[in-house]
Copies of this chain bind each other. A is one copy, B any other.
Amino acid sequence: MNKQEIKKLLRQFKSGEIDIDEAVKVLEDLPFKDLGFAKIDNHREIRGGYPEVIYCEGKTVEQVRDIVEFMLTKNKNILATRASEEMYRAIKEICEDAQYNKLGRTITIRKTPEEYTDSYIAIIAAGTSDLPVVEEAYETAKILGNRVEKIIDVGVAGIHRLFAKLDIIRGAKVIIVVAGMEGALASVVGGLVNKPVIAVPTSVGYGANFGGLSSLLSMLNSCASGVSVVNIDNGFGAAYNASIINKL
């Protein structure tokens, strides 16, 4: 609510168009309206293409189904991450359209077909073990309306495989690099492109990997300058981030 709107309200009140209680009611709400929180809600929830998102980890099958059931009443697209097969089966019962990405552990429900961007996000992964994170990122990016290219198994130990895909990588507007173990792929890709690189360390590895710590630290210390990092195994966050950039 801007100055003009306040003035209009004051005049309506003065002219008797609205009474004092109506005026007070509107003015009382000013803080939240004006701080723009509603705007955010607009961005995130009301705008057509934007899906509802549920993070299923630590929720029971019943809780997830109930949330989805409620969301379905709003007729919007839905993305559930870290969802088990059991959750999927429960949702399938209340919504025929639900689809499950077993590797990525995502459930997607499409009420409105998303419109895809012209520019695309490239998702690059070091090894096949990183696929669950890749798939989570992929499903997220897609339902957020992005064109996506996946490039798998191009770890630095066989660097020629990466170079063979350089054209596709360089053609992207924003790049997600998914890698566990030593996470070197982020630096190598970061050095080869001039696009924003969002690095996702994965917990793939053992021993001194310490649950993804080695690739996390590796990526944070990347000697290539265009690399930023999200949490270990956070395919969703990387794709959400990439989607914001891709749509700039």
Q: Decide: B218 and A231 in contact? CB cutoff 8 A.
A: no
State A235–B234 Cα separation when bound (angstroms): 24
B181 close to A206 (CB less than 8 A): no
Our pick among B44, B158, B217, B222 for the contact of A37 (Cβ within 8 Å) is B158
Structural contact, A221 and B231, CB atoms closer than 8 A: yes
**Total count of chain A residues near the partner, CB < 8 A:** 100
- Looking at chain A's contact residues, is the secondary structure mostly helix, strand, loop, or mixed? helix
Contacts of A248 in B (CB 8 A): 173-174, 195-196, 245, 248
Is A77 interfacial (CB 8 A cutoff)? no
| Given known A-B contacts A23-B10, A34-B28, A157-B187, A217 and B210 have beta carbons under 8 A apart | yes
Please state the number of chain copies in the assembly. Answer: 8
User: Which of B24, B166, B187, B194 sits near A7, CB closer than 8 Å?
Assistant: B24
One of B160, B238, B244 near A195 (C-beta < 8 A): B244
* A183 in complex: contacting residue of B63, B128, B218, B233, CB < 8 Å: B218
Q: Is A49 on the interface with B (CB-CB < 8 A)?
A: no
User: Do A182 and B32 touch (CB < 8 A)?
Assistant: no
In chain A, positions 197-235 with a C-beta closer than 8 Å to chain B are 198, 201, 203-234
Given the complex, which residues of B lie within 8 Å of A59, measured CB to CB?
Answer: 128-129
A90 on interface, CB distance cutoff 8 Å: no
Please provide the chain A residues from 44 to 72 with a CB less than 8 Å away from any CB of chain B in the complex: 44, 55, 57-59, 63
Give residues in A with beta carbon < 8 Å to B: 3, 6-7, 10-11, 13-14, 20, 23-24, 27-28, 30-32, 34-38, 40, 43-44, 55, 57-59, 63, 126-129, 155-160, 163-164, 166, 170, 173-174, 181-184, 186-188, 190-196, 198, 201, 203-234, 236-238, 240-241, 244-245, 248
In the A-B complex, list the 4 residue pairs whose CB atoms are closest, starting with the nearest: A207-B232, A184-B184, A37-B160, A157-B191
